[in-house]
Amino acid sequence: MNIKGKKVLLTGADGFIGSHLAEALLNEGCHLRAFVYYNSFNTWGWLDTLPKEQLDKIEIFSGDIRDPNGVRTAMKDIDIVFHLAALIAIPYSYHSPDSYIDTNIKGTLNIVQAAKDLNVSRVLVTSTSEVYGTAQFVPITELHPKQPQSPYSASKIGADCIADSFYRSFNSPITIVRPFNTYGPRQSARAVIPTIITQLLSGITEIKLGDLTPTRDLLFVKDTVKGFIAIAKQPELIGHEVNIATQSEISIRDLANELIQQINPKASILEDEQRLRPAKSEVFRLFGSNEKLKQYTDWKADYTIQAGLAETIEWFRDTKNLAQYKPLIYNV
pLDDT average, residue stretch 255-281: 95
Residue 101 pLDDT > 90: yes
Alpha helices, DSSP H only, in 75-131? 90-95, 97-100, 107-118
CA angle, 14 then 18 then 24, to 5°: 120
Asked if 28 and 114 sit in the same domain, the reply is yes
Asked if 211 and 90 sit in the same domain, the reply is no
Residue 289 to residue 156: CA distance in whole angstroms: 19
pLDDT tens for each residue of 122-131: 999 999 999 9
Residue 332 pLDDT > 90: no
For residue 257, what are the domain limits? 192-216+248-287+303-322
Asked if 146 and 283 sit in the same domain, the reply is no
Residue 296 lies in a domain: no
pLDDT tens for each residue of 174-200: 999 999 999 999 999 889 999 999 999
Residue 249 to residue 247: CA distance in whole angstroms: 7
Residue 328 pLDDT > 90: no
Residue 316 lies in a domain: yes
User: 208: pLDDT confidence band, cut at 50, 70 and 90?
Assistant: very high
Asked if 239 and 252 sit in the same domain, the reply is no
Residue 105 to residue 87: CA distance in whole angstroms: 10
pLDDT average, residue stretch 260-288: 96
Residue 89 pLDDT > 90: yes
Domain count, the chain: 2
Task: List the CATH number of the domain containing 283.
Answer: 3.90.25.10
pLDDT tens for each residue of 54-88: 999 999 999 999 999 999 999 999 999 999 999 99
Asked if 197 and 141 sit in the same domain, the reply is no
CA 44 centroid distance within chain: 17
What is the pTM for the complete model shown? 0.97
pLDDT average, residue stretch 270-280: 93
Asked if 226 and 281 sit in the same domain, the reply is no
Asked if 167 and 283 sit in the same domain, the reply is no
Residue 293 lies in a domain: no
pLDDT tens for each residue of 152-173: 999 999 999 999 999 999 999 9
Residues with Cβ within 8 Å of 215's Cβ and at least 6 positions away in sequence, in order, are 249, 250, 251, 252, 284, 285, 286, 287
Residue 157 to residue 138: CA distance in whole angstroms: 20
Asked if 81 and 201 sit in the same domain, the reply is no
* 158 SS3 class: helix
Residue 148 to residue 130: CA distance in whole angstroms: 8
Residue 123 lies in a domain: yes
Asked if 253 and 265 sit in the same domain, the reply is yes
Question: Mean pLDDT over all residues of the chain?
Answer: 97
Which of 27-31, 244-248, 269-273 shows the lowest mean pLDDT across its residues?
269-273
Burial 137-151 (b: 16+ CB within 10 A, else e): ebbbbbebebbbbbb
> By 3-state DSSP, what share of the chain in percent is helix, strand and coil, each rounded to 5?
45, 15, 40
Alpha helices, DSSP H only, in 205-251? 221-232
Which of 7-11, 30-34, 274-278, 299-303 shows the lowest mean pLDDT across its residues?
274-278
Residue 297 to residue 229: CA distance in whole angstroms: 10
User: 331: pLDDT confidence band, cut at 50, 70 and 90?
Assistant: confident
Asked if 130 and 207 sit in the same domain, the reply is no
